[in-house]
Amino acid sequence: MSLVVASVTKKFARFPALRGASFVAPQGAFVSLLGPSGSGKTTLLRILGGLEVADTGSVRFADLNWLDMPARTRNAGFVFQQYALFRHMTVADNIAFGLKVRPRDMRPSRADIKKRVTDLLALVQLAGLEDRYPSQLSGGQRQRVALARALAIEPRMLLLDEPFGALDTKVRKELRADLRRIHDHAGVTTVFVTHDQEEAFAVADLVAVMRDGRIEQYGTPQDVRRDPKTAFVSDFLSA
Amino acid sequence: MKRILSLLAAVGMLAATTAGFSANAALAADVQLLNVSYDPTRGLYQEINKAFAAQQKSKGDNVTISNSHGGSGSQARSVIDGLQADVVTLALAADLDAISKNGKLLRADWQKRLPQNSSPYTSTIIFLVRKGNPKQVRDWNDLVKPDVQVITPNPKTSGGARWAYLAAWDYAAKQPSGNGDKAKTFVANLYKNVPVLDSGARGSTVTFTKRGIGDVLLSWENEAHLVLKEAGGDQYKILYPSRSILAEPPVAIVDKNVDRKKTRATAEAYLHFLYTPQAQEIEARNYYRPRNPQILAKYRKQFPDIALSTINGAFGGWAKAQAVHFGDGGVFDQIYQPGR
Amino acid sequence: MNKIFSKPTEDPLWLKLTLGIIAVGFIAIMLLMPLVLVFKEALASGVRTFFSAMVEPDTLAAVKLSLLAAAIAVPLNTVFGIAAAWSIAKFDFRGKTFLVTLIDLPFSVSPVVAGLVYVLVFGMQGWLGPTLAGYDIRVLFALPGIVLATIFVTFPFVARELIPLMVDQGRDEEEAAATLGASGFQTFMRVTLPNIKWGLLYGILLCNARALGEFGAVSVLSGHIRGQTNTMPLHVELLYNNYDYTGAFAVAALLAMLALLTLALKSFLEWRYADELAASHRH
C-alpha cells in the first residue's frame, strides 16, 4: 500500500507552484518535504490533504485514486502550521470533533469517544487539559492538541505543514521526538513539510528536497547528505 | 338510525338558516374605496368617511374608505404609477390634469363633471400674525414695509407658496393705477422681506411658530386654523387682507380604476356626498369654505367675506401662470436673488 | 511635559482630556440631545396624551406594518449576508470583487433613488407594472413593495459585518474540519457559525434598526394609505404634516425606544456572555 505521487502540477493564476512532482514511499514511511519558501512543498502537501486540487498528475494510495476523493472522505489527518484549533471548543471537543461528525452508523458511543480523547491526551502528554480552551494554551500545547485531533480519526495518512514553525527550539525538539514516537507506534504513513533541514533529517525516513515546484532529490537522509545530486541541494544542506 | 336522522335534520336546519343569512347579505354590497388626498385633509376626511359610511349603511351597503395623504404633486405621481385610487381629492387642478394626461386614468373633461369646477370646498390665502400684532399688519401693502418680516415657502417647491405669490401679485395689480410692472416690483419687495424660504408649508409654519421668526405668515386659511387648533392657541391671530385668491381643490373619480374595480356607483355617490349639506357642514367645521351659501352664512364668523380673484380670471389659468411665473427663468427667478 | 509621560507610548494627559471632551461632547450634542428632546416633546402634553397617541388605530397599524416588514427583510438579509460572507471569505472565484462592490451598492445609493428604481420597474408606467397588473399582482403601494424597499436598504448590514470577520478568521478551521471528515453543513453549523455569532448578532441588530427606521425608499412607493401602508416613520411624517406635533413626537419616541431596546439587548447579551466573547477574540 505504498504512496505513489506521479507528475503532480499546480498553477495559481499564472504562478506555477508545482511543475511535476513525483515520488514513491512505502506504507508507514515518514517522508519529509524539504525546501525554501516557494518551492511548492506546502502546495503538494495540501493536494495530498484534499485542500487544493491538482491540475494534472495522479496519486495512488491504499489502492485508491486519491485525487478523485474529496477531502472529507480521505481520512487524512492534517496538522496546520497555525494549529487551526476550533477556538470556541474545549480541548476535548476539538479532539473529539472528527469522531462526532461521523455518520451515525460509524460514530462511536459517547463513552468511547471520551475514552479516546483521554487516551490521546495522554499520548501527547496533555493529560487533564480536557476543559481548557485553545486560547488558554501555549503554542506547544496547542500543537499537541492539533496532533491529537488529527490522530483521533485513526487516519491512514498523516500530513503536517511546518507544524513546529511557530515554536521555540526547545519545544520543537521535544515535539519532534514525540511525533516520531507516535508515528512509530501508530505506523501511519506520514508526510511532513519543513524548511529546516536539521529537523527533516532528524525525523524522516525519506527526504524530498524541493525547489521551484520540483523535487530535486529524493532519498534517505544519509543518501542525500552523502551524495547531493545538484548544486542547489548541496548548498541548501550546508546552509 | 334515529340519531342519524336527527343529526341530518339539525345540519339541514343550520344550512337553511345560514343560506338565509347569506341570501340577505348578497343583497348588501361590501365596497372598499381608496381616496387619495393631499396633506392637510386628514381630519376632514376622517369625519367625511365616517358620515358617508353611516349613510351607506342605512341603505344596506358596507362601505370602507381608506385615505392616503401626501404632497399633492407626489400623490398624483403615485396614482399615475399605479396607486389604486377610486377617487382623488387633491390640491391643484394641474395635478388631476397630469393624471389624466400621463396616466390616462381620468377623462380629460373631468373638471366639468361635477358642480363648480369639481370643487365642493374652497380655500384662500390669509395672514397669520402674532398676538397683539406688534407691527400693525393689516393688508398686503404692509408686507413691503421695511421693518416687517414675512414668512412664506418657496414657490419653486411649494404649491401653497405659489398661491401666496399670485395673491400678492393680484393685489398689487388691482390697486388703482396698478399694472403688471407695478405688481412685479411689489412682489419683488415682498420677497425681499422674507428672511427664510422654506421648501414647504410645514417648514414655514415651524419657522414662524417654533423658531419665532417673522411677523406674519402667509398661509392657507384651513391650515392657519389647524395651526391655531393644534399648535398655538392664543399666541397667534388670523388676519384677513382686503383681497386674496380663490383656491379650488378639485375632486374626481378615477375612471379606469373604478371601472376595473366595479366601484363606480359608490365612488360617484361619495363625491356627490361632498356637496350635500351634511358634508358641507363637516367641511366648514374643518375650515374649508363650503360652496353651500346657507352653510357658509352659518359659519360667517369663521369665514369672513373677502374679495377673491380666480386664477382663470386673473392669470389666464394655472398652466399659463405656472409657465410665466414659476418656470425656469420665469418672473420669480428674475425677482428673487437669495442673499440679496 | 516629560514628567507626565509614564510610558513612551502613552499620550499626554492634555491630549487625552481634549480628545475625550470632544468625543463625549459630540456624542452628547449629536446623539443624546435630540433623543432627550424627542422624549421631552412627546411627553409635553402629559403622559395620557402620549398613550392615547400610541393606541390610536392608525399608529397601531403603522407599528404592525413596520414590524412585519422588518420580520421579513431581516431574516432574508441575514441568510443572504451569511451566504455572501461565506463565499467571499472562504473561496476564490471570478467576480468576487464585483460581488463585494455590489453588496455596498445600497450604501452609496440614496434611499429615495432606490425607491424610484422600484417605481420604474413595478409602476404602471414602468417595465413590469402593466404585466403584473394583468395578473392582479400589486407590488407598489402595498406590502410587497414596502418589503422590497426595506430589503434593499438593509441589504449590506449583515454581510458587511461578517465579511471582514470571516476574512480575518481565515479558512484554517474550516479546512481542518474538512480533513476531519465534516460535511459542508456540519462545518458551517459546528465551526463557522459559532465563530461568527457575535458579529452576526450585531449585524442583525443593525439590520433590524435600519429596517424599522427606513423612510426615503419606503416613502416613495408606499402610497401613504392611512392604516394600511404607512410604516412608523411615514406615520410620524403624516402627523407632523397635520400639525399634530405631540402625536408625531410620540410615535418618534416609540421608534427611539425600539432602537434603545435593541441596544440594551445587545449590551445585555455582551455582558451575559462576556467570557465567551473574550475567549473568541483572543487567538
DSSP designation for B12: H
Give me the residue from A84, A101, A149 closest to C182, CB to CB.
A101
Subunits adjacent to chain A (3 or more Cβ pairs under 8 Å)? C
CA C52: distance to chain centroid? 29
Give me the residue from C126, C140, C227 closest to B66, CB to CB.
C227
pLDDT of residue B232: 65
Would you state the CATH architecture of domain B125-245+310-335? 3-Layer(aba) Sandwich (3.40)
Smallest CA-to-CA distance from B98 within B79, B85, B112, B116 is with B79
A74 part of contact set with chain C, CB < 8 Å = yes
pLDDT of residue C283: 40
**Number of C-beta neighbours around residue A137 at 10 A:** 18
Q: What is the largest CA-CA distance in chain B?
A: 104
- Against a cut of 0.90, is the pTM above it? no
- Bridge-based pairing state of the strands B216-220 and B121-130: antiparallel
The chain C residue lying nearest B228, using CA atoms, is: C243
Percent of chain A with pLDDT over 90: 79
Instruction: Test C225 with B66 for CB contact under 8 angstroms.
Output: yes
Ordered alpha helix ranges (H), C28-110? 33-42, 47-55, 57-90, 96-108
B264 part of contact set with chain C, CB < 8 Å = no
Subunits adjacent to chain B (3 or more Cβ pairs under 8 Å)? C
CA distance A87 to chain C (A): 6
* CA–CA–CA angle A51, A55, A61 (5° rounding): 60
- How far apart, in whole angstroms, are the C-alpha atoms of residue B317 and residue B323? 10
C186 part of contact set with chain A, CB < 8 Å = yes
Indicate which of A11, A86, A105 best probes the interface with C, i.e. most C CBs within 10 Å of its own CB: A86
DSSP states along A183-228: HHHHT-EEEEEES-HHHHHHH-SEEEEEETTEEEEEE-HHHHHH--
Give me the residue from C124, C227, C229 closest to B80, CB to CB.
C124
pLDDT tens per residue, chain C (283 residues)? 555 556 777 778 889 899 999 999 998 888 888 889 888 888 887 888 888 888 889 999 999 999 999 999 999 999 999 999 988 887 878 888 898 888 988 988 899 999 999 999 999 888 898 888 888 888 999 999 999 999 999 989 999 889 988 888 888 999 999 999 999 899 999 999 998 888 898 889 989 989 999 999 999 999 999 889 999 999 998 888 877 888 889 999 999 888 888 888 888 877 877 766 665 554 4
Instruction: Test B230 with C125 for CB contact under 8 angstroms.
Output: no
Q: For the residues B264-285, what does the mean pLDDT come to? A: 94
Instruction: Test C225 with B75 for CB contact under 8 angstroms.
Output: no
Element holding B122 (H helix, E strand): strand B121-130
Within this chain, domains B11-16+23-122+248-302 and B125-245+310-335 share the same CATH topology: yes
Q: Which residues pair with B35 in a beta bridge?
A: B67, B87
**pLDDT: which is higher, B267 or C89:** B267
Domain locations along chain B: 11-16+23-122+248-302, 125-245+310-335
**Contact (CB, 8 A) for C27 and C33:** no
CA distance C89 to chain A (A): 15
Q: Which long-range contacts (CB under 8 A, 24 or more apart) does B110-116 make?
A: B110/B250, B110/B252, B111/B250, B111/B252, B113/B252, B114/B251, B114/B252, B114/B271, B114/B272, B114/B275, B115/B275, B115/B291, B116/B248, B116/B291
The chain B residue lying nearest C120, using CA atoms, is: B81
Is chain A touching chain C, with at least 3 CB–CB pairs below 8 Å? Answer: yes
CA distance B76 to chain C (A): 10
**pLDDT band for position B60 (50/70/90)?**
confident
Output the CA torsion A134→C163→C215→C245 (10° steps).
30
Output the CA torsion B272→B273→B277→B279 (10° steps).
-130
**Contact (CB, 8 A) for B39 and B203:** no
Is chain B touching chain A, with at least 3 CB–CB pairs below 8 Å? Answer: no
Q: For the residues A163-168, what does the mean pLDDT come to? A: 87
Computed over every residue of chain A, the mean pLDDT equals 92
- Phi-psi group of A75: left, alpha or beta (phi > 0 → left; psi -120 to 50 → alpha; rest → beta): left
Q: Which residues pair with B151 in a beta bridge?
A: B217
Give me the residue from A76, A87, A149 closest to C283, CB to CB.
A87
Chain C from 110 to 129: CB within 8 A of any B CB: 119, 122-126, 129
| CATH code, residues B11-16+23-122+248-302 | 3.40.190.10
Q: Is the dihedral of CA B134, B135, B136, B137 positive or negative?
A: negative
**Cβ-based contacts under 8 A for chains A and C:** 77
Find cell 422600484 and name the residue: C118
